[in-house]
């Protein structure tokens, strides 16, 4: 199974430890049974054997407990590793891939697949223990009575074959369940993100609930019931065969003298002793199969492999002078028969300039800013920093030149500069002043304490966070769109010049034609085609866009 291979390849030490511990507790269990048969079931040895028996029992208790505790420790470490590595892999994956997969699928994987993998790992010892116990017990049985061993082996084969038959059906239920999980996660998100709309329109709420959500929830419930039913059948089939074996052993021993009474009692004990681990092994199968489905779902996400480091060794010159885009294109994957692509773009950005990108809705402005920042890898064309071409080796270092406020920005409460160091309190209060947030935002130990602000205020906070990073180039995607007219003016007339004076290169997407004269240079985007403009033609483009709107 892939899951066992994965654990063995990536967690070999833990797996071998677990195997050895399981073996030890199994061997001690069998040893105890053999002791009972050899000493306690023989009348003449009874007195001499009791002390040794107590010692052996004590040893079994201590060793089995230590093994179990150790197994729990290994299991929890595995869960910790799986969860933390998954989050790091999300961080390292390409932004375009994350957008393509979608939040709902990733969250479903985090909550369902990572958990099922971890759960399988903790159940794996039971499977291994069950298999080892069965093997060891069979060997011991063979020594006691070969004929009874053959009978038990036939019954066990029937049991395993029956279980296998049921388990195969079980697997398809898991695949159905996992499929429903993605949809349900996305419906949870819709319920929370669209809460206001659903509250205001109860008919929409009712239709969403009845027509979209309930069918998926029902499908998941039915698949669960089916899976649980198969599981119950497998367990009870196993139990029944084992109990049947006890009856058959006594019957054959008493009626046909295949074994003495004491051997029959020991064989029965062995069979009953085997029952618990074997039932546990069968019980572990669903978790292991579920993890197999989870493992496939995780693979399908296409995240990059786990890397422990955060930084590449590559550094670009801090005093770079120009960034040059040469024949850059970017094509989104085809969706519903349509797909947008940037046409070959040539653009040079000089260090320290303030450049505006304008254009109508859907023309490709945000796409270009994402390509420029290195978050999207161009489909074709080249990017140069001075004369250094940006490739896979230095793309990570290239991204470190940028700070941004995109339209879907996130506010991180911890304030830091672009190298991850604390920023001076004076710088923080200066930016709070510039952004007229001093009375609104409380900061303690370089942490923002109240980020529950209006949308316009949150965007000001995002600008402060980006500015404090002191990266050489700043991308602002329609930053002023949520600002009131007074602060919009402050932004264009005071803040942009301030950023320029502080040495920032600003790449701003803007629809505010009133302020176009504050740009040193304006470029316009139309249907993915980029055009350089003077401020007069920029005004004409803006007029055209507003007439079209
Ligand atoms: N993740 C995506 N997958 C596929 N197509 C996309 C994706 N994101 C955007 N697009 C398409 O790319 C085109 C350009 O989108 P983009 O967001 O770059 O436009 P924009 O100029 O920034 O628009 P706006 O002014 O409305 O923000 C749009 O037509 C859109 O349908």
Residue nearest atom 4 in ligand 1 by C-alpha distance: 332
CB 464 within 8 A of CB 416: no
Residue 28 CB partners (closer than 8 Å, separation 6+): 56, 59, 60, 63, 64
Distance 53 CA to ligand 1 centre (A): 76
Q: φ, ψ for residue 533 (rounded to 5)?
A: -130, 155
Residue 548's pLDDT is what? 57
Q: How many CA atoms lie within 13 A of 278 on its CB side?
A: 27
By most ligand atoms within 8 Å of CB, the mutation choice from 102, 360, 364 for ligand 1 is 364
Give the pLDDT score at 134: 80
Provide the pLDDT for residue 410: 92
d(CA 543, CA 335): 31
Type and span of the H or E element at 101? helix 95-101
Q: How many CB atoms lie within 10 A of CB 188?
A: 14
Q: Give the pLDDT score at 465.
A: 95
Residues 303/89, Cβ–Cβ less than 8 Å:
yes
Strand pairing partners for 381?
Answer: none
State the closest ligand 1 atom to the C-alpha of 99, by its place in the atom list counted from 1: 1
In three-state secondary structure terms, 322 is strand
Ligand 1 centre to CA of 69 (Å) is: 54
CA of 403 to the centre of ligand 1 (A): 21
Whose Cα sits closest to atom 2 in ligand 1? 332
Q: Using the atom order of ligand 1, give the atom closest to the CA of residue 335.
A: 4
Predicted pLDDT at 541? 64
For residues 362 and 439, what is the distance between their CA atoms, to the nearest angstrom? 37
Strand, helix or coil for residue 438: coil
Closest CA to 359 of 522, 535, 506, 476: 522
Q: Whose CA is nearest to atom 7 of ligand 1?
A: 332
Tokens of 360: 């109508």
Q: Residues 301, 367: contact at Cβ < 8 Å?
A: no
Q: How many residues are present in the chain?
A: 549
Q: Does domain 2-301 have CATH number 1.20.1560.10?
A: yes
Please state the three-class secondary structure of 218-247 as a single string.
HHHHHHHHHHHHHHHHHHHHHHHHHHHHHH
SS3 329: strand
How many CB atoms are closer than 10 A to CB 428?
18
For the CA of 368, the closest atom of ligand 1 is 18
Per-residue model confidence (pLDDT) at position 500: 93
How many other C-beta atoms lie within 10 A of the C-beta of residue 416? Answer: 14
Q: What is the pTM of this model?
A: 0.76
Cα distance between residue 436 and residue 230, in whole Å: 64
3-state DSSP assignment of residue 520: coil
Gap between the Cα atoms of 1 and 8, Å rounded:
11
Task: Count Cβ neighbours within 10 Å for each residue of 147-172 and write b for 16 or more, e otherwise.
Answer: ebbebbeebbeebbebbeebbeebbe
Strand partners, 523: 357, 532
Q: From CA 186, how far away is CA 107, in angstroms rounded?
A: 9
**Rounded to the nearest whole angstrom, what is the distance from the C-alpha of residue 504 to the centroid of ligand 1?**
27
Q: Which atom of ligand 1 is nearest to the CA of 100?
A: 1
User: What's the pLDDT at 43?
Assistant: 60
Taking phi first (over 0 means left), then psi (-120 to 50 degrees means alpha), and beta for anything else, what does residue 330 get? beta
In a mutational test of the pocket of ligand 1, which residue from 98, 100, 334, 340 has the highest number of ligand atoms less than 8 Å from its CB? Answer: 340
Burial class (CB within 10 angstroms; exposed 0-12, middle 13-18, buried 19+) of 515: middle
* Residue 44: φ, ψ to 5°: -70, -20
Ligand 1: residue whose CA is nearest its atom 19: 362
| Domain boundaries along the sequence of the chain | 2-301, 322-401+472-548
Query: Using an 8 Å Cβ cutoff, are 33 and 266 in contact?
Result: yes
From 366, 525, 541, give the residue whose CB has the most ligand 1 atoms within 8 Å, as the site to mutate: 366
Q: What is the pLDDT of residue 478?
A: 94
Ligand 1, atom 17, lies closest to the CA of 366
Flag residues of the chain having pLDDT under 50: none
- CATH for 322-401+472-548 is 3.40.50.300
Atom of ligand 1 nearest to the CA of 360: 25
Residue whose Cα lies nearest atom 3 of ligand 1: it is 332
Q: Which atom of ligand 1 is nearest to the CA of 363?
A: 21
* 156 Cβ neighbours under 8 A, 6+ residues apart: 134, 138, 241, 245
3-state SS assignment for residue 407: coil
Separation of first and last alpha carbons in the chain: 58
As a whole number of angstroms, the distance between CA 490 and CA 228 comes to 64
Residue 482 CA, ligand 1 centroid: distance in Å? 19
| ipTM higher than threshold 0.90 | yes
Helices and strands (H, E) in the chain, number of each type: 18, 12
362 alpha carbon – ligand 1 mean position (Å): 5
226-262, pLDDT tens digit by residue? 888 888 888 888 888 888 888 998 898 888 888 888 8
Residue 167 contacts by C-beta under 8 Å, 6 or more apart in sequence? 230, 234, 285, 286, 289
Specify the ligand 1 atom closest to the Cα of 528. 14
Mutation test residue for ligand 1: of 103, 332, 338, 356, the one with most atoms within 8 Å of CB? 332
The confidence score (pLDDT) of residue 113 equals 85
Token look-up 């649980």 returns: 228
Q: How far is CA 508 from CA 397, 403, 504, 518, in A?
A: 22, 12, 12, 11
Condensed to tens digits (0 to 9), the pLDDT of residues 145-198 reads 888 889 888 988 888 888 778 777 777 777 777 778 888 888 999 999 999 899
Residue 373, helix vs strand vs coil = coil
Q: How far apart are CA 164 and CA 76, in angstroms?
A: 29
Residues with CB under 6 A from ligand 1: 99, 332, 335, 340, 359, 361-367
Supply 467's token pair: 């500015």
């Amino acid at each position: 199974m892939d899951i066992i291979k994965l654990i063995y390849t990536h967690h070999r030490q833990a797996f071998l430890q677990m195997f050895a511990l399981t073996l030890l507790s199994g061997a001690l269990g069998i040893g105890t049974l053999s002791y009972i048969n050899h000493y306690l079931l023989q009348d003449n040895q009874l007195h001499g054997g009791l002390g040794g028996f107590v010692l052996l029992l004590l040893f079994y208790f201590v060793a089995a407990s230590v093994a179990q505790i150790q197994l729990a420790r290994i299991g929890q470490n595995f869960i910790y590793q799986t969860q933390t590595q998954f989050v790091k892999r999300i961080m390292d994956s390409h932004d375009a891939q994350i957008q393509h997969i979608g939040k709902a699928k990733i969250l479903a994987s985090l909550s369902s697949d990572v958990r099922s993998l971890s759960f399988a790992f903790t159940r794996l010892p039971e499977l291994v223990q069950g298999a080892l116990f069965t093997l060891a017990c069979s060997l011991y049985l063979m020594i006691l009575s070969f004929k009874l061993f053959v009978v038990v082996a036939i019954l066990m084969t029937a049991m395993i074959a029956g279980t296998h038959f049921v388990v195969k059906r079980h697997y398809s239920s898991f695949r159905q369940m996992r499929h429903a999980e993605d949809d349900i996660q996305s419906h949870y998100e819709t319920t929370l993100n669209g809460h206001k709309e659903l509250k205001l329109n109860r008919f929409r709420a009712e239709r969403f609930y009845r027509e979209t959500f309930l069918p998926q929830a029902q499908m998941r419930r039915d698949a669960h019931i089916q899976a649980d039913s198969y599981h119950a059948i497998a367990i009870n089939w196993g139990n029944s065969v084992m109990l049947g074996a006890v009856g058959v052993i006594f019957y054959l021993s008493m009626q046909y003298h295949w074994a003495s009474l004491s051997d029959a009692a020991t064989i029965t004990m062995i069979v009953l002793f085997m029952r618990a681990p074997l039932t546990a092994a069968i019980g572990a199968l669903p978790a292991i199969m579920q993890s197999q489905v989870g493992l496939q779902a995780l693979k399908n996400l296409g995240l990059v492999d786990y890397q422990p480091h955060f930084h590449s060794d590559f550094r670009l010159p801090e005093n770079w002078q120009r960034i040059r885009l040469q024949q850059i294109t970017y094509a989104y994957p085809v969706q519903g028969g349509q797909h947008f692509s940037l046409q070959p773009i040539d653009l040079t950005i000089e260090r320290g300039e303030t450049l505006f990108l304008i254009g109508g809705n859907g023309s490709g402005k945000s796409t270009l800013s994402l390509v420029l920042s290195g978050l999207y890898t161009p489909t074709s064309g080249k990017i140069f920093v001075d004369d250094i071409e940006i490739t896979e080796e230095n793309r990570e270092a290239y991204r470190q030149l940028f700070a941004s406020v995109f339209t879907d920005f996130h506010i991180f409460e911890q304030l830091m500069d672009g190298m991850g160091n604390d920023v001076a309190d004076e710088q923080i209060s200066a930016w709070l002043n510039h952004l007229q947030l001093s009375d609104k935002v409380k900061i303690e130990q370089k942490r923002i304490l109240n980020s529950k602000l209006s949308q316009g205020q949150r965007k000001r906070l995002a600008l402060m966070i980006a500015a404090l990073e002191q990266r050489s180039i700043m991308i602002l995607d329609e930053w002023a769109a949520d600002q009131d007219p007074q602060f919009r003016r402050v932004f264009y007339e005071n803040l942009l010049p301030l950023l320029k004076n502080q040495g920032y290169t600003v790449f701003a997407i803007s629809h505010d034609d009133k302020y176009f004269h504050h740009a040193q240079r304006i470029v316009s985007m139309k249907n993915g085609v980029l055009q350089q403009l003077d401020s007069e033609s920029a005004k004409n483009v803006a007029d055209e866009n507003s007439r079209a709107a």
